[in-house]
Amino acid sequence: MSKLFAKLFLFSAVIFLTGASCVSFPGTSSKKSTPTGPTGWFFSKDSGESWKPMVLLPTADGVKSLSAVSVYALVEDKNDPKALYWLSRDNGLLYSYDDGATWQKSVEPVGSGFIYSIAIHPTDKCTIFATNGRQIFKTTDCNRSWTEMYREGVPSRTIKSLAINISPPFELYALEANGILLKSLDSGASWQIGHDFKEPTEKMIFDNNKAGLVYVATKENGLIRSRDSGVTWFNLKNSLKSFPGATQYRRLYLYPTQGEQVYWVSKYGILVSKNAGDDWDPINLITPPGGTSIYGFAVNPKNEKEIYYTSTIGTRSTFYRTIDGGKTWVTRKLPSSQIPVILRIHPNNPSWLYLGYTAMSN
């Protein structure tokens, strides 16, 4: 492992210098408010005190940089934390089998374009599903080849999230932005409508520590929960009403080592529930409720009082860390002026942080 990260740091200075780009942030038009700098991934071995680029792409023509590739999401194989999948906004699916020290591009048809979501089979790491918003693809040979399993025939519909039930028979779900939930009982060969939420939806995720527990995040109307693998659903909007702006989704995070512990990041700020959303407690932040956009968020899987988030106001972003559950915070400068959208803590090395950036435009 040390050799891999030594290689990463050796190339970091070159990568950093080759990653500059200039784009516009939503709602802005002047050059003064245009974020600049590299996108892609940064890595910290000291809980965010210092950062190095993590964007190496070895090719037959030499090592190239991915510092201009925008991050949409990062998916970790729960059975193999060294296996990471980088979902990009315009460069397809990238993957790493060495903790992110180096990356590889997936082959077509998922090697280009916007990748919205992937789902890894709970018992077979080489079986993966991916969607570009219009189609769902499947690989059974660890990214060597992909087969189309579903194509959305209505142009106005976008597939936003894929999820696989953690329990047999491992049903596959596809959540569309318009609230329609598709379900497959045969690994994507055939599909049926599982539910219609009748409102815009963003994400679906199963609790790996609680069989049958699954959540759907709506765009503007809070969180919806099922305790029977999607047979029946319960809207948690009322439990969020006392927090202004809390129904507007930013991030949904399930604590990986404790069932029913869920974090809801919204326009309000950060809330935590230890009973699957029936009750919520706010995390005390330096930033006022509703005063900032929080996208990057992570909690130490070995210590729930150690919390990290990134705050973006206009085009300025800041990194925050607490080790006492929000009683006190420290702030640190971020390594790029682009928009930090993803934070990840390594499950076996909690001082290792991964920070993903995207370039936002009008």
Query: What are the pLDDT digits (tens) for 62-89?
Result: 999 999 999 999 999 999 999 999 999 9
Question: What distances in angstroms separate CA 268 from CA 21, 264, 289, 291, one per listed residue?
Answer: 31, 10, 5, 8
CB 14 within 8 A of CB 29: no
State the pLDDT confidence band at 33, using cuts at 50, 70 and 90: low
Indicate the residue type of 322: T
CB-CB contact of 99 with 344 (8 Å): no
User: Does 56 score more than 60 pLDDT?
Assistant: yes
DSSP 177-209: TTSEEEEESSTTSS-EEEEE-SS-EEEEEE-TT
Report how far apart, in Å, the C-alpha atoms of 289 and of each of 180, 282, 284 are: 31, 10, 9
Is 277's pLDDT higher than 70? Answer: yes
* pLDDT for residue 90 is more than 70: yes
> How many angstroms separate the CA atoms of 220 and 202, rounded?
10
What's the confidence (pLDDT) of residue 361?
Answer: 65
Residue 161: what residue type?
A: S
| pLDDT at 119 exceeding the cut of 70 | yes
| Torsional class of 242: left (φ above 0), alpha (ψ -120 to 50), beta (otherwise) | alpha
- pLDDT for 21: 31
Q: Residue 45 has which token pair?
A: 């071995």
Q: Is the pLDDT of residue 362 over 60?
A: no
Residue with tokens 């702006």: 245
Over residues 239-256, the mean pLDDT reads 97
- CA-nearest of 360, 354, 326, 359 to 342 is 354
Place 118 in a pLDDT band, splitting at 50, 70 and 90: very high
- Give the 3-state secondary structure of residue 237: helix
pLDDT band at 38 (very low <50, low <70, confident <90, very high): very high
Residue (of 80, 96, 81, 102) closest to 4 by Cα position: 102
What average pLDDT does the chain have? 91
pLDDT at 269 exceeding the cut of 60: yes
Structure confidence by residue, pLDDT tens digits, 202-234: 999 999 999 999 999 999 999 999 999 999 999
Is 60 exceeded by the pLDDT of residue 93?
yes
Is the Cβ–Cβ distance between 180 and 193 less than 8 Å? Answer: yes
Percentage of the chain modeled with pLDDT above 90 = 87
Q: Are strands 262-266 and 124-131 parallel, antiparallel or unpaired?
A: unpaired
Is 14's pLDDT higher than 90? no
Give yes or no for a contact between 89 and 70, defined as CB atoms under 8 angstroms apart.
yes
Contact 82, 104 (CB under 8 A): no
How much is the pLDDT for 158?
98
pLDDT tens profile 168-209: 999 999 999 999 999 999 999 999 999 999 999 999 999 999
- The answer to whether residue 22 scores a pLDDT higher than 50 is no
| Four-residue CA torsion sign, 294, 336, 355, 30 | positive
Rounded-to-integer distance, Cα 101 and Cα 217, Å: 32
pTM exceeds cut of 0.85 = yes
**Which domains are assigned to the chain?**
2-358 (2.130.10.10)
**Exposed/middle/buried for 31, CB within 10 Å: 0-12, 13-18, 19+?**
exposed
20 pLDDT higher than 60: no
Distance separating alpha carbons of residues 261 and 263, to the nearest angstrom: 7
pLDDT of 34: 72
